[in-house]
Structure 1
Amino acid sequence: MRVSTLVASLATAVSAYDDFLNEPDTGFQSYLSSTNWTEKSRPLLKDIRGVPDFDFAARQSLTDQQYAFYRTAAAGEWSYRNNLKAWEKARVRPHQLASITGLNETMGVSILGHNFSAPFFISPATRAGYGDEERGELNFVDAAADEDILYVAALYATKSIEEIGAQRKKRGNTIFQQIYTNGNLSVTWDAMKRAEAQGVKAFVWTIDAPGTAVRHRAARYDTTNANAATSVLSWDLLDQLREHTKLPIILKGITTVEDALRAVEAGADGIWLSNHGGRQADYSPSPLEIAYEIRRNAPEVFKKTEVIADSGVRYGSDVIKLLALGVKAVGLGRPFLYSNVYGPEGPKKLIQILKNEILTDAAQIGINDLHNIPSRVRQPPAKSGQKSEFASYSQIEQDLGNASNGAMTTEKVGTATRETTVNDVALEAQAAATEKFGIATGTGAKDHRSVILEAAQETASDDVAHAARAMTVPGVITEAPIIDPTRRIMAEKTLIDEINDDLVDTTQTAVQSSTPGGPEATGDGPRRRNGNLFPVHSIPSVVDEIQRTIPGPQVDMVWGPRPIIRAIYEEFKAKNGLCTAHILPSRDDDEGDGDAY
């Protein structure tokens, strides 16, 4: 399994998350100021045009304490802001003259065998009574029934399991029930028994909330967490849960590929990618980043279990981006709580807005089937006169390393053996990089996707197959997600000096020219095919040589020993400002030198 322990993005263009705290300015307040609306009064429902508008409306309608409970997030609320901002790192790729005549018919989705009209649902969101004291979560039951979408009822709701169940029976819709594994498990077993009696169709086990989180915003009003009781959490509990129900169980709160794989191995009926809306562990990744990590490293997860997600979804395009990565359906929590200030009609209008946005955005992109989204999502290109913020040195170092290792194997032919080598620039460069302190940059005719595909055709290696899928899956973003600039990885100067001293003493032979027909390495020196190989006299000299010999504003790939890659990265960043590094451990990395300093 290929899992990055460190992803660092130091693009200065992504230097702040403070351009908005709740919703972007789309002219809502300016419009309201031209009407009879007054501050601290609820805007008319007809004036709500987008999902974020409900946030503004809730701030006008709720008390400060009530809004703080809905809006609060963990610690400095970085994850909350990142949930809203991470979508910017994926661009759509509209295709024109595409037939979209059948798009509407692909809007429906099946979740655990239950059919719904749209690929989004109401996530478990507690204390809906703040918005509508009389009806609370019953408005969610009715809106889900009217619009035929899934509602996942919160365990710690304003209304009881029985009250929600009675409304469900009256409306006849499908509901899943959230559960926490309480410190006293008999409480959990009782809640499950009560929910089953009300006809719920599945349980959602929230596994990312071991207890009270650090939530400063809510704490200022002495607002306790709904799930303040300590939860009992362990993988062994899944078997105990199964002993108390025959209903499907979804694990909610998956944030890493490791846990996704373990959930699949444990036989989970579904996994829910979520960081709890940024309310539990600050600096936890957004659902887009989690889905990307799983798609890149273990795409088989999306076939072996049902994958749903939530946290930070506000637009139809957000839903589309997650669908493109393989997520089956997407949940919203806070927005439905905000919409509840309008009573029964609020959640219903939110659903209608999001349905319309999904269809409209998909049509604008040229998607004609929401269940089969082609390559319509990518990361942004470089701005004019700048290096791309996605110009990555070792973005695919590990995937190509696995491809190289798998391709360069020994085959038995009769009684003889032969070495099978994929004849390609990237794999040649990877082989050359194994020479002591050889740094190779890919500048051949083939891009990395072609490299890995060709490698996959040459060998049956699982690593190569994984690499091929990771780089060619439709709709996948082709770069690692951004990490907050305040958590940048800086290679210490002492390390750079140490590497430089070592390199000066162990310089290898033959500088390879990038000019076609240039000199080739001879003897035991490194080989080159359609690429450049630089001996490392010093880190600055390598950077200078790369810039001198490779035309254009962007270095596509660099392979080499990871400590040197780090040092080159720091030097290149110091000279050029904009760059991104993706530093990964190898499979047999026992020294842990892929970890953050």
Structure 2
Amino acid sequence: MPQTLSPSELSAHNTVASLWIAIDGDVYDFTEFAPTHPGGLSVLLQHAGKDGTAAYNAVHSSSLVKSILPVSKHLGRLSSPPPPGSPSPSPSPRETTPTKPPLSSLISVNDFRLAAHTFLPPKTLAFISSAATDCHTHRRNSTAYSEITLRPRVLVDVSAPVSLKTTILNQPVASPIFVSPTSLGKTVHPDGELEIARACKELGGVAQIVSTSASFSVADVVRAAAEHPSASDDPVPIFLQLYVDKHAPNTEALLHSLTHPDSSSTPNNAPLIKGVFLTVDAPVPGKREADERVSASASLPPSTTTPMATQLTPTTDARGSALGRLMASYISPSLTWRRTLPWLRARLPPDVPLVVKGVQTARDALRAADAGADGIVLSNHGGRSLDTAPASVLVLLELQRCCPEVFDRVQVFVEGGVGRGTDVFKALCLGARGWAWGGGCFMEGVRRVLEILNDELVTTMKMCGVTSLDELHPGLLNTRAVDHLVPESVSEEHPYAKWRRSKI
């Protein structure tokens, strides 16, 4: 017989660290599920420690909660449950006042994710954490790494210090981990992408990719890194993540300003950027339901500036209030292999590399190499564009199986799902040249996250018997748990397609 819980016991669990909700008289523990809730964590927090029956039944079937949560998360029955929708006893102000935890208390990447939910405004949180539809790809980006196991080598002298220094697109960097592009950094911190650049400088020159939809221009970011006082004099390689504008002259003007600056911007009129990452996996905006659900005016100013792209005025329409959908309104959906890459290459100096970001199949990896790309990023936009697209590390395995020669033709980078140094280690063993982490907090926070990942990577390397990035190889991994998910060849085709073609 299930235990009985009192309303006061329920109301005590009203935070991200312990999140209980009563539905139809049953009490459930949503703590572990909450960060991946398709509707966003903020919705669950509104009902944390309370009876959420009315809100739940308005959008879900009565059986859904039992199917998504394991039996162990069904804690018992609520004694004398109040009528559906009635408020539960309110916690004290001390319990509900959002406060940032001390930085020293955050010792993992997931700690930062949970901490963000305690103080970021609802719309900002929905924008930066939302993923497409049911969030399957968003979750599988992470869980696929956990299915790949390590094969440590023991009795190896690993007393030598480990250097993580390497190169990314011929640029020396302090670590193979670099900062992935994030839009509208100012919604998280007033200095947004400038703070990320400063953190990268303090860590000895970590690469940073700046989004076309950033809150600050590339010139601002380059200047912030150059002017920031640091013990390290190593430069921060700045790359541009490019969304091609529907109005092509806008993109041409942007590229020209970054590759042919005046002498006041850089010495000898050198390009401000060290390469261009062309995003190709978002020709149209994905349906990010958590972003759609939270009102556009919930916590944003009337307009949000994106100097390299457009000026956004958050609005609500019949489809919802997604800031991501509004932001994507200027992006061209007409990019092609035949036209776009040659067009871009002709507008870049020969020494500015071009990378195709958003490759999700071995066939497209080869097409990028054939088209003259200098690199590719295996990415599904963090699961924010097309749900049930393959996890990024599975695409990396597909390249290993179907076209290993591509690693000699282009530099391969991976983005999405990594939360531990062990995950970075696995990607590097499988041939990735670098892994992108999404920056989204103030300078000390960005620096702390990168330090944590670097430290975990070094620990994993030594535990596996290696002290150099050059020693990493696929033999240090066991991938059999996911091998059955990887296509057998570049041209693999579903049997139905072959049968259907034979009938035509």
Q: Which TM-score band (shorter chain)? A: 0.5 to 0.7
2:152 match: 94
Please report how far the alpha carbon of residue 281 of structure 1 lies from its aligned counterpart in structure 2 after TM superposition. 0.8
How far, CA to CA, are the matches of 2:470 and 2:127 in structure 1?
36
1:577 match: none
Q: Identity of aligned pairs, percent?
A: 27
Pick from 256, 266, 276: which aligns with 1:193?
256
1:471 match: none
Q: Which amino acid aligns with 2:199?
A: A
Please report how far the alpha carbon of residue 267 of structure 1 lies from its aligned counterpart in structure 2 after TM superposition. 1.0
Q: 1:217/1:288 Cα in 2 relative to 1: closer, same or farther (>3 Å)?
A: same
2:485 match: 481
2:197 match: 141
How far, CA to CA, are the matches of 2:248 and 2:358 in structure 1?
20
1:327 aligns with 2:467: no
Pick from 200, 211, 234: which aligns with 2:284?
211
How far, CA to CA, are the matches of 2:383 and 2:494 in structure 1?
34
Q: How does 1:117-196 map to 2 (within 5 A)?
A: 117-133=174-190, 135-147=191-203, 148-171=205-228, 172-196=235-259
1:315 aligns with 2:420: yes
Q: 1:593/1:274 Cα in 2 relative to 1: closer, same or farther (>3 Å)?
A: same
Q: Deviations over 1:506-554 (max 9, x none)?
A: xxxxxxxxxxxxxxxxxxxxxxxxxxxxxxxxxxxxxxxxxxxxxxxxx
How far, CA to CA, are the matches of 2:494 and 2:392 in structure 1?
29
1:346 match: 445
1:592 aligns with 2:498: yes
Do 2:288 and 2:322's aligned partners in 1 also have CA atoms closer than 8 Å? no
SS of the residue aligned with 2:109?
coil
1:271 aligns with 2:376: yes
Please report how far the alpha carbon of residue 272 of structure 1 lies from its aligned counterpart in structure 2 after TM superposition. 0.7
Q: Which amino acid aligns with 1:233?
A: L
Following superposition, which runs of at least 4 residues in structure 1 exceed 6 angstroms of deviation?
581-591
How far, CA to CA, are the matches of 1:594 and 1:307 in structure 2?
35
How far, CA to CA, are the matches of 1:315 and 1:101 in structure 2?
23
Pick from 392, 395, 398: which aligns with 1:290?
395
Please report how far the alpha carbon of residue 285 of structure 1 lies from its aligned counterpart in structure 2 after TM superposition. 1.1
Q: 1:156/1:481 Cα in 2 relative to 1: closer, same or farther (>3 Å)?
A: same
Q: Which amino acid aligns with 1:365?
A: C
Do 2:428 and 2:434's aligned partners in 1 also have CA atoms closer than 8 Å? yes
Q: Deviations over 1:449-476 (max 9, x none)?
A: xxxxxxxxxxxxxxxxxxxxxxxxxxxx
SS of the residue aligned with 2:215?
coil
Q: 1:83/1:75 Cα in 2 relative to 1: closer, same or farther (>3 Å)?
A: same
Do 1:143 and 1:344's aligned partners in 2 also have CA atoms closer than 8 Å? yes
Q: Which amino acid aligns with 1:592?
A: K
Q: How does 1:294-443 map to 2 (within 5 A)?
A: 294-333=399-438, 336-337=439-440, 340=441, 343-374=442-473, 375-379=475-479, 390=481
How far, CA to CA, are the matches of 1:191 and 1:279 in structure 2?
26
Q: Deviations over 1:380-431 (max 9, x none)?
A: 7xxxxxxxxx5xxxxxxxxxxxxxxxxxxxxxxxxxxxxxxxxxxxxxxxxx
Q: How many residues are treated as equivalent by the alignment? A: 366
How far, CA to CA, are the matches of 2:124 and 2:421 in structure 1?
27
Do 2:402 and 2:490's aligned partners in 1 also have CA atoms closer than 8 Å? no
Q: 1:37/1:95 Cα in 2 relative to 1: closer, same or farther (>3 Å)?
A: farther
How far, CA to CA, are the matches of 1:583 and 1:271 in structure 2?
19
2:331 match: 230
1:78 aligns with 2:136: yes
How far, CA to CA, are the matches of 1:166 and 1:305 in structure 2?
30
1:431 match: none
Q: 1:37/1:104 Cα in 2 relative to 1: closer, same or farther (>3 Å)?
A: farther
Q: Which amino acid aligns with 2:477?
A: V
Please report how far the alpha carbon of residue 52 of structure 1 lies from its aligned counterpart in structure 2 after TM superposition. 1.1
Q: 1:588/1:309 Cα in 2 relative to 1: closer, same or farther (>3 Å)?
A: closer
Q: Which amino acid aligns with 1:219?
A: E
How far, CA to CA, are the matches of 2:199 and 2:251 in structure 1?
28
SS of the residue aligned with 2:189?
coil
Q: How does 1:38-77 map to 2 (within 5 A)?
A: 40-77=98-135
Do 1:68 and 1:218's aligned partners in 2 also have CA atoms closer than 8 Å? yes
Larger radius of gyration: 1
Please report how far the alpha carbon of residue 155 of structure 1 lies from its aligned counterpart in structure 2 after TM superposition. 0.9
Pick from 275, 293, 296: which aligns with 1:202?
275
Task: Give me the TM-score of the superposition, normalised by structure 1.
Answer: 0.58
SS of the residue aligned with 1:241?
helix
Where does structure 2 lack aligned partners over 5 or more consecutive residues? 1-30, 37-93, 229-234, 266-271, 295-320
Please report how far the alpha carbon of residue 101 of structure 1 lies from its aligned counterpart in structure 2 after TM superposition. 3.3
Please report how far the alpha carbon of residue 159 of structure 1 lies from its aligned counterpart in structure 2 after TM superposition. 1.4
Q: Deviations over 1:53-89 (max 9, x none)?
A: 1111111111111100011111111110111211121
Please report how far the alpha carbon of residue 37 of structure 1 lies from its aligned counterpart in structure 2 after TM superposition. 8.5
Do 1:249 and 1:268's aligned partners in 2 also have CA atoms closer than 8 Å? yes
Q: Deviations over 1:314-345 (max 9, x none)?
A: 11011011111100100011xx21xx1xx321
Task: Give me the TM-score of the superposition, normalised by structure 2.
Answer: 0.68
Please report how far the alpha carbon of residue 215 of structure 1 lies from its aligned counterpart in structure 2 after TM superposition. 1.1
SS of the residue aligned with 1:52?
helix
SS of the residue aligned with 1:238?
helix
Do 2:375 and 2:411's aligned partners in 1 also have CA atoms closer than 8 Å? yes
Q: Which amino acid aligns with 1:326?
A: G
How far, CA to CA, are the matches of 2:458 and 2:137 in structure 1?
28
Q: 1:287/1:594 Cα in 2 relative to 1: closer, same or farther (>3 Å)?
A: farther
Please report how far the alpha carbon of residue 39 of structure 1 lies from its aligned counterpart in structure 2 after TM superposition. 5.6
Q: 1:588/1:318 Cα in 2 relative to 1: closer, same or farther (>3 Å)?
A: closer
Please report how far the alpha carbon of residue 587 of structure 1 lies from its aligned counterpart in structure 2 after TM superposition. 9.1
Question: Considering only aligned residues, what root-mean-square deviation do their CA atoms show, in Å?
Answer: 2.8
Please report how far the alpha carbon of residue 103 of structure 1 lies from its aligned counterpart in structure 2 after TM superposition. 5.3
Do 1:129 and 1:137's aligned partners in 2 also have CA atoms closer than 8 Å? yes
Q: How does 1:510-549 map to 2 (within 5 A)?
A: none
How far, CA to CA, are the matches of 2:436 and 2:491 in structure 1?
33
Where does structure 1 lack aligned partners over 5 or more consecutive residues? 1-17, 24-35, 381-389, 391-476, 483-580
Do 2:363 and 2:491's aligned partners in 1 also have CA atoms closer than 8 Å? no
Q: Which amino acid aligns with 1:131?
A: V
